[in-house]
Chain A
Amino acid sequence: MNSNNKTDVYLRDVFIGQIESPKDFIKKVKEERREGRLPDSVNVGYNKDLNEVVIETSKGRARRPLIVIEKEKAKLTEDHVKKLLNNETKWKELVTEGIIEYIDAAEEENSLVALSEDEITPEHTHLEISPIVIMGLTTSLVPFSNFGQSARLNRGSKAQKQSLGIYAANYLIRMDTDSNVLHYPSNPIVKTCNAQLAGQENHPAGQNIVVALMSYEGYNMQDALILNKGSLARGLARSTYFKPYTVEELRYSGGLTDQICVPDKEVKGYKAEEDYKLLEDDGITYPEATITEEDVIIGRTSPPRFLGEMDEFSIAANKLRDSSVTIKPGEIGKVDMIAVTENEEGNKLVQIRVRHQRIPEIGDKFASRHGQKGVVGLIVPQQDMPFTVSGITPDVMFSPHSIPSRMTVSHLIEALAGKVGALDGKSIDATAFTGQTEADLRVQLQELGFREDGSERMVNGITGEEFEAKIFIGNMYYLRLKHMVGNKLHARAAGRIQLLTRQPIEGRAKGGGLRLGEMEKDCFVAHGASLLLKERFDSDRTVVPICSACGLIGVNDVFRKKKFCHRCGGNVEINSIELSYAFKLLMDEIRAMGVLPNIKLKNKY
């Protein structure tokens, strides 16, 4: 704070001088800018608490355009808008004319922005270009978002970020890890003005489908969806999953290298000959080869891990070990593209992209743009699907129970608007606050010869009887989300175990077990299912010989058919008991701490 009652002025954080009246100074600066004597990238802000004026011109500031208000009137008039539409004037000109200006954070602090023209008061300095700017980029893509609950809008925009589309036009020559491409993306019939601004029109990520709001044998309870098998056969929501596999010829110390080739039969760890059937002479699969899980797609041999292994007795191939790349368990597809190149270190690098067509199946995830997500619960043959009296079969059946508690009114309006758009062959503006009104849409629907509320008489496809209730049916934009059961399904019986605990290893990729955790254990106990619980935990069961004299773990010598105790010798009774290996490990660890745990056995009878 300065003592002489003057205000400090900073230009890009550098002190440049003092002024008498910050108000007049800022006014002057703004006037100069609006009249074009100062560049439009200059922003000026006054900090009341510090009594200093800050002028910013630096790059990298977040700024946003606003309409300037002068004498309680927006400077942008209908005239300007008309001219803009007729290409007689440009946005750039509006900015240079001072009708629209870009404001940064500091200048916004001194401004009062009106959301709409009719709320302008003498205090207001700017007018928002559209009320939709209160929302973020993806949220503004939600149709009729002013009719949705805010929490659902968040979820709706989250769903859009996970939806499948064509993520890049050059996807065919890319090697992205785990990418999906939707086969026939379409532009939404019902869209906001921001769809164009955000570029969504150029790469849509969803499809327009017919949705009936009804239940069907209970298979769409709890947010599940029912799909029409006929629609799927026609390519609805079909996508392709791409996954690259990479192999490198690594160099080791001593001039040894990996070799990408068909491994010799003498190589250590050689699988069956059958497993290498897809490899061509160069050790790499051919394009369009059909692959299933655990097929070798790139053959490779590596030198031994330890140089000591290279003993004089073995022939050359014997020293090598197999390090071929196999398709991960549970994955299938076709070899899509092969790239043979070199990496930065000059090592040979082979990348194989595997493709798999994904037809929607039970368990795949879908969502509308209103935070209404769900998985497929049933796929119904088209002849069993309900149909309207005019013969329309829905693609999706969506449960009506998903609506009331979530208050996603926008979901229903979209279906109504989509119906109007589809029947009339036009796209519907669903921009928040300024889009078409529901009343208007209802009138249009009636004019098209349908009930204004969007409901229709429908017939049960199985019995051929007409439903008592009229069913709300309309067109909606649905998104296929990237979460597909194909990537998640997992089960196992026996398999790999951990070395330390002898319990099954973790994780789907490694073929691990499914843990019966602490809380699940509690459930078994609460049910009194004692013996079932024991069986569940038998994965690390071991038989341990216990010395009845000292209570320590004894030895069961299988070869000499003798049991003895290291401490008490052979003349003691050794009994075998069944324990979890984890507990045996715990006892070992306790013993390692210098504590002697022993097991006292009691005769059961």
Chain B
Amino acid sequence: MTVYEEYKGRLPGRIINDMKSEAEKRNLNDNQIKKVMEYLVTQYDAAKIDPGEAIGIITAESFGEPGTQMTLNVFHFAGVAEVSVTQGLPRLIEILDARKKIKTPSMEIHLKKEHGKETNEVRKIAAQIKETVLREISEEFNINLSKMQLEVTINKAKMREIKAKPEEIIEKLKESHKNIIAKETPEGLSIKPEATENELMEMYKLKEKLKETYIRGVKGVTHVLPVKNGNEFIIITAGSNLADVINIPEVDSAKTTTNDIHETAKVLGIEAARQIIINEAEKVIEDQGLDVDIRHILCIADTMSRTGLVKGITRSGITGEKKSVLAKASFETPLTHLVNASLIGEVDQLNSVIENVMLNQPVPLGTGLPDLVAKMGPKDIKTQKKEDKKEDKE
């Protein structure tokens, strides 16, 4: 055991463990093990990225080059009908910009093992998750002018489908609209504003509001689609509301995901958001049949989530946080950056790449990183200065 002890910290735990089991299998003695471990250390060190390697630009190129081959086709249905998902370059831009409002929010809801087996049960759960508004379960909205009330004809079949009773609907209506009197009628509902002196316009406004009244399900989830994945059912949705969905008892909260990065960060935290960035970016690249090394995606995801907040690669996000004025100005809106810098008298230390390219100085990367340093005493400096002056005069 002691042989491995000294390699802790020099090699990752997994490699040490692999070595342990392999050594047992092959019956190696301590000396042999040590030999192998030394070799492993040299190999591991050689595999590490060298100091001064421009990983950022390599990552950017690794995304940028395949990006030119991606289709610009925005509307493409992902295999199954109904739920359309943004794909290709628009989606990749969405991810890397860390957009607050994504075009097609969608969730993948996994169910707990005991629930995700029978088709009927899954359908029931899916129907339960889908947001239902009054418009969807009613057939007609009428304004009765003589009684100054709204008359709603309810679709009985749809009511049965979601197993809702008129009383429940009345309750929901009262919850979301104050000052109304709602009653059950043979056809459905009659709704009357409490205040008696209603103008007709108000009635119309009320009608439109009532149509969108939330009745059942998870808010924001507009479509649900149960899909068989292996021998388990998952529910794909259009619209996303992770916080509410994982509170549903049948849902496996550990596996359920959304493609909204910011929502994930809010509900599950920054590490989860980082993972979503990785998964979503990888999905886009794979769907397009391209091949980008996972480490580039990791690099981007790490950079975006490094501060604990999700930040996009935009001038308001990561790029805006660059220290150099010139670097910021060379990205987007140069005037704004120059004006702001001159207002506060910003100093550019010229520590990064772009600034030095602009000034035609060696960039501090690769061969430009090492500097020649000479040790000099105070005496040396004085003589040096004299020599400099001499040179100048010549």
* In the complex, residue of chain A having the shortest beta-carbon distance to the beta carbon of B369: A530
Given contacts A525-B365, A530-B368, contact A605 B360 (CB under 8 A): no
Contact status of A595 and B52, CB under 8 A, knowing A522-B61, A583-B358, A600-B347: no
Contact A528 B358 (CB under 8 A): no
CB atoms of B358 and A530 under 8 A apart: no
Inside 8 A of A597's CB, which chain B residues have their CB? 342
Name B360's contact: one of A525, A526, A534, A563 (CB within 8 Å): A534
Judge whether B57 and A531 touch: CB under 8 Å.
Answer: no
B330 to chain A, nearest CB (A): 10
Known A525-B54, A526-B54; contact A537-B357, beta-carbon cutoff 8 A? yes
Determine which of B360, B365, B384 lies in contact with A578 in the assembled complex, contact meaning CB atoms within 8 Å. B360
Verify B369–A595 contact, CB threshold 8 A: no
Q: Does A150 contact B (CB under 8 A)?
A: no
Is A234's CB within 8 Å of the partner chain B? no
Type the 1/0 row for B351-376, where 1 means its CB is closer than 8 Å to any CB of A. Answer: 00100011111111111110001101
A403 contacts which chain B residues (CB < 8 A)?
none
Q: Would you call A183 an interface residue if the criterion is a C-beta within 8 Å of the partner chain's C-beta atoms?
A: no
- Check: A529 CB closer than 8 A to any chain B CB: yes
Contact A526 B61 (CB under 8 A): yes
A538-B362 Cα distance, complex, nearest whole Å:
11
What is the size category of the interface that chain A forms with chain B?
Answer: 20 to 34
Residues of the A chain whose Cβ atoms lie less than 8 Å from the Cβ of B54: 525-528
Inside 8 A of A580's CB, which chain B residues have their CB?
358-360
Among B53, B57, B338, B359, the most chain A Cβ lie within 10 Å of the Cβ of B359
Query: Is B362 a contact of A530 with CB atoms below 8 Å?
Result: yes
A113 lies within 8 A of chain B by Cβ:
no
Query: Which residues of B lie under 8 Å from residue A530 when comparing CB positions?
Result: 362-369
Residues of A within 8 A of B358 (CB): 580, 582-583, 586
Q: Which residues of B contact A596 (CB under 8 A)?
A: 342
A605 near B381 (CB under 8 angstroms)? yes
Q: Does A590 contact B (CB under 8 A)?
A: yes
Contacts of A531 in B (CB 8 A): 362, 367-368
CA distance A583 to B361 in the complex (A): 11
Contacts of B364 in A (CB 8 A): 530
A356 sits at the interface (CB 8 A): no
Given contacts A534-B360, A579-B360, A600-B347, contact A525 B393 (CB under 8 A): no
A523, A529, A541, A561 — most chain B CB neighbours (10 Å):
A529
Taking the complex as formed, is A251 at the interface, i.e. its CB lies under 8 A from any CB of chain B?
A: no
Q: Which residue on A lies nearest to B53, using beta carbons?
A: A528
**A605 to B383 Cα, complex, angstroms:** 14
Given A528-B53, A530-B363, the answer on whether A605 and B353 have CB atoms closer than 8 Å is no
**A538 neighbours in B (Cβ, 8 Å):** 360
A583 touches B381 (CB 8 A): no
Residues in B with CB closer than 8 Å to A578 are: 360
Query: Would you call B366 and A527 a contact (CB within 8 A)?
Result: yes
Interfacial chain B residues near A528, Cβ < 8 Å: 52-54, 365-369
Does chain A have a CB within 8 A of B58? yes
A457 at the interface (CB under 8 A from B): no
Q: Does B60 contact A (CB under 8 A)?
A: yes
A310 to B355 Cα, complex, angstroms: 50
**Closest CB of chain A to B161's CB: distance in Å?**
41
B-facing residues in A543-596 (Cβ within 8 Å): 561, 563, 578-580, 582-583, 586, 590, 595-596
How distant is the Cα of A176 from the Cα of B358 in the complex, in angstroms? Answer: 46
Q: How far is the CB of B334 from chain A (nearest CB, A)?
A: 10
Tell whether A533 is near chain B: CB-to-CB under 8 Å. Answer: yes
* Cα distance A530–B60 in the bound complex, in angstroms: 18
Q: How far is the CA of A532 from the CA of B359 in the complex (A)?
A: 15
Confirm or deny: A521 has a beta carbon within 8 angstroms of a beta carbon on chain B.
Answer: yes
A523–B392 Cα gap in the complex (Å)?
38
What chain B residues lie within 8 Å of A583 (beta carbons)? 358-360
Which chain B residue has the least Cβ–Cβ distance from A539?
Answer: B360
User: How many pairs, one residue from A and one from B, have CB atoms within 8 Å of each other in the complex?
Assistant: 79
CA distance A179 to B365 in the complex (A): 51
A595:B367 contact, CB within 8 angstroms:
no
Tell me the complex Cα distance, A582–B363, Å: 17
A588 to chain B, nearest CB (A): 14
Contact B357 A521 (CB under 8 A): yes
Closest to A538 in B: B360
A-contact bits for B122-156, CB 8 A (1 contact / 0 none): 00000000000000000000000000000000000
A580 to B357, CA, bound (A): 9
Q: How far is the CA of A532 from the CA of B342 in the complex (A)?
A: 33
**A529–B367 CB distance below 8 A:** yes
Residues of A within 8 A of B361 (CB): 534
Measured in the bound complex, the distance between the Cα atoms of B58 and A414 in whole Å is: 47
| A-chain residues with CB within 8 Å of residue B339 when the two chains form the complex | 595
B363 touches A526 (CB 8 A): no
CB-CB under 8 A for A534 and B57, given A561-B393, A605-B374:
no
Q: How far is the CA of A541 from the CA of B384 in the complex (A)?
A: 26
Q: How far is the CB of B67 from chain A (nearest CB, A)?
A: 12
- Cα–Cα, bound, A529→B52 (Å): 11
Q: Quick one: CB contact mask for B56-81 with A, threshold 8 Å, 1 for yes?
A: 01101100000000000000000000
Smallest CB gap from B388: residue in A:
A575
Chain B residues near A529 (CB, 8 Å)?
Answer: 366-367
Which of A525, A537, A590, A605 is in CB contact (< 8 Å) with B57? A525
Tell me the bound Cα distance from A115 to B53 in angstroms: 64
> Which of chain A's residues have a CB closer than 8 A to the CB of B362?
530-531, 533-534
Question: A583 vs B342: C-alpha distance in the bound complex, in angstroms?
Answer: 17
Partner among B338, B366, B368 whose Cβ is within 8 Å of the Cβ of A595 = B338
Query: Quick one: CB contact mask for A465-492 with B, threshold 8 Å, 1 for yes?
Result: 0000000000000000000000000000
Partner pick for A526 among B57, B357, B368, CB 8 A cutoff: B57
Digit string of B89-124 for contact with A (CB within 8 Å is 1, else 0)?
000000000000000000000000000000000000
Complex interface: chain B residues within 8 A of A534 (CB): 360-363, 368
Whether A537 lies near B342 (C-beta < 8 A) is: no
Bound complex: CA of A580 vs CA of B358, how far in Å? 7
Asked if B363 contacts A525 (CB within 8 A), the reply is yes
List the B side residues contacting A579 at CB < 8 Å. Answer: 359-360
Per the bound structure, the CA–CA distance linking A528 and B367 in Å amounts to 6
**Could you tell me the distance in whole angstroms from the C-beta of B348 to the nearest C-beta in chain A?**
9
- A253–B359 Cα distance when bound, in Å, is 48
Interface string of A488-521 (1 = CB under 8 A from B): 0000000000000000000000000000000001
Looking at B362, B366, B381, the one whose CB has the most chain A CB atoms below 10 A away is: B366
In the complex where A526-B58, A527-B366, A528-B53 touch, is A533 in contact with B357 (Cβ < 8 A)? yes
Q: How far is the CA of A526 from the CA of B49 in the complex (A)?
A: 13
Instruction: Report how far A345 CA is from B367 CA in the complex, Å.
Output: 64
CB distance from A550 to the nearest CB of B (A): 14
B53, B358, B373 — most chain A CB neighbours (10 Å):
B358
Chain A positions within 8 Å of B365 at CB level:
525, 528, 530
Return B50 CB to nearest CB of chain A, in Å.
8
- In the complex the two chains form, what is the Cα distance from A76 to B356 in whole Å? 80
A70 to B61 alpha-carbon distance, docked (Å): 66
Which A-B residue pairs are the 6 nearest by beta carbons?
A528-B366, A530-B368, A580-B360, A595-B342, A526-B57, A530-B362
Q: A525-B365, A534-B361 are in contact. List 18 more A-B contacts (CB 8 A).
A: A522-B60, A523-B61, A526-B58, A528-B52, A528-B54, A528-B368, A530-B363, A530-B364, A530-B365, A530-B366, A530-B368, A533-B362, A537-B357, A538-B360, A563-B392, A580-B359, A590-B338, A605-B384
Chain B residues with a Cβ under 8 A of chain A: 52-54, 57-58, 60-61, 338-339, 342, 347, 353, 357-369, 373-374, 376, 381, 384, 392-393
14 residue pairs bridging A and B, Cβ less than 8 Å apart? A526-B54, A526-B57, A529-B366, A529-B367, A530-B368, A532-B367, A533-B362, A537-B360, A541-B360, A582-B358, A595-B339, A605-B373, A605-B374, A605-B381
